[in-house]
Every structure is written in C-alpha cells, then in structure tokens.
Amino acid sequence: MGIYLGLVACNQNTNHDSKAGVDSIKMESKSLLDTSEDCAKPTKYPNQDKPMALMMRQMADDAQKMKDKVEAGEQIDANEFPLIRFHLVEPTDPDVLQPQFYENARLFQQAHKAMMSVPANKQKEMYTAYINQCINCHQTYCSGPLKRIRKLVLN
C-alpha cells in the first residue's frame, strides 16, 4: 500500500482526495509548506548574502542595545560594541564605493571612537552624533534602512 503526499507551493490548494488503491494524507496549508500568507510577505532582508549588508544589520542591532544602555545611564564601551569595519567588505551595490562613502566611513569611525571614550553622562550626546553619521551616509547611499535607523534616535 502506498501513501500519496501532496506537496504544494504558494497559493495552491493542499487537500487531495483519495485515489483508488492509494491512501491519501490530507495536509492543511499551514502544516508544512508555504501558505498564501507566507507568500504575500515581502522578503525582510533581500540582500542578506552581501557582507556589508550583514555587517550593517549587526551594527543596527548593536545600536539598539547601545541606545537602551544610554537611556538607562549605563556605560557603553568598545569591548562590548567594537567598531565594525563595514567599509572594507563587499557591498550590495559596488557603485557606492566612492570617495564620499569612505569619508563617511571615516567620520563614522570618529563618532564611534568619541562615543566609546566619554563617561556615561556624556554618551547621550556622542550616541546622537554616532546615529546622525549613520543617517547622513544613508541619505546618500542606500536609503532603504533610514526608517530603521531613525528609530535609533534618542527621545
């Protein structure tokens, strides 16, 4: 006796009727594979395979943690949040590798160093400068993440 298993892709019906001499397994669309809801969702990270995009996501995660610490009045330091040298790896769009991009990266490094070198009571100002460097660069290069970056601004 064989088993008939219906596998489906997006937006296809997954229930199959029994066939003569063959048992049937009815599968609900939410049980195993793609559902029409899953197919309608946009890809969260369309550039996930490029090293610079991966590093930028890590930097955003780190910035959120830094923001939380700054708001709590806790010291942040370079041991916990080392500088990520994103400008040295492959970008999603190689056309961004222009002199101004590297100047923005240099300014970002300065903002990171300044933020890490001040006591906790001065870090709010330095964190703001750090996030502003992100915004300044992303207004020129790769504006997609600006909405996420703006959420990192201190209230």
145 φψ region: left (φ > 0), alpha (ψ -120 to 50), beta (else): alpha
Do 37 and 98 lie in one domain? The reply is no
Do 33 and 91 lie in one domain? The reply is no
Do 14 and 85 lie in one domain? The reply is no
The length of the chain in residues reads 155
Do 104 and 69 lie in one domain? The reply is yes
Do 133 and 65 lie in one domain? The reply is yes
Helices and strands per DSSP (H, E), number in the chain: 5, 2
In sequence order, the 6+-apart residues with CB closer than 8 A to the CB of 112 are 78, 83, 130
Q: What are phi and psi for residue 52, nearest 5 degrees?
A: -65, -40
The answer, as to whether pTM is greater than 0.85, is no
112 domain residue, yes or no? yes
Q: What are phi and psi for residue 43, nearest 5 degrees?
A: -65, 125
46 domain residue, yes or no? no
Q: Are 114 and 127 in contact (CB under 8 A)?
A: no
Q: How many domains is the chain partitioned into structurally? A: 2
Give the domain extent around 37. 1-41
107 domain residue, yes or no? yes
DSSP 8-state symbol, 23:
E
Q: Are 60 and 138 in contact (CB under 8 A)?
A: no
Do 32 and 97 lie in one domain? The reply is no
Do 36 and 84 lie in one domain? The reply is no
Do 85 and 63 lie in one domain? The reply is yes
In sequence order, the 6+-apart residues with CB closer than 8 A to the CB of 78 are 112, 116
> Measured between alpha carbons, how far is 77 from 127 in angstroms, rounded to an integer?
12
Do 33 and 97 lie in one domain? The reply is no
Q: Which amino acid is at 133?
A: Q
Hey, what are 28's tokens?
């609900």
137 domain residue, yes or no? yes
Do 26 and 98 lie in one domain? The reply is no
Do 72 and 132 lie in one domain? The reply is yes
Do 107 and 136 lie in one domain? The reply is yes
pLDDT (tens digit, 0 to 9) for every residue of the chain, 155 residues total?
444 443 333 333 334 443 343 333 333 333 334 444 544 555 565 655 799 999 999 999 999 999 999 999 999 999 999 999 999 999 999 999 999 999 999 999 999 999 999 999 999 999 999 999 999 999 999 999 999 999 999 98
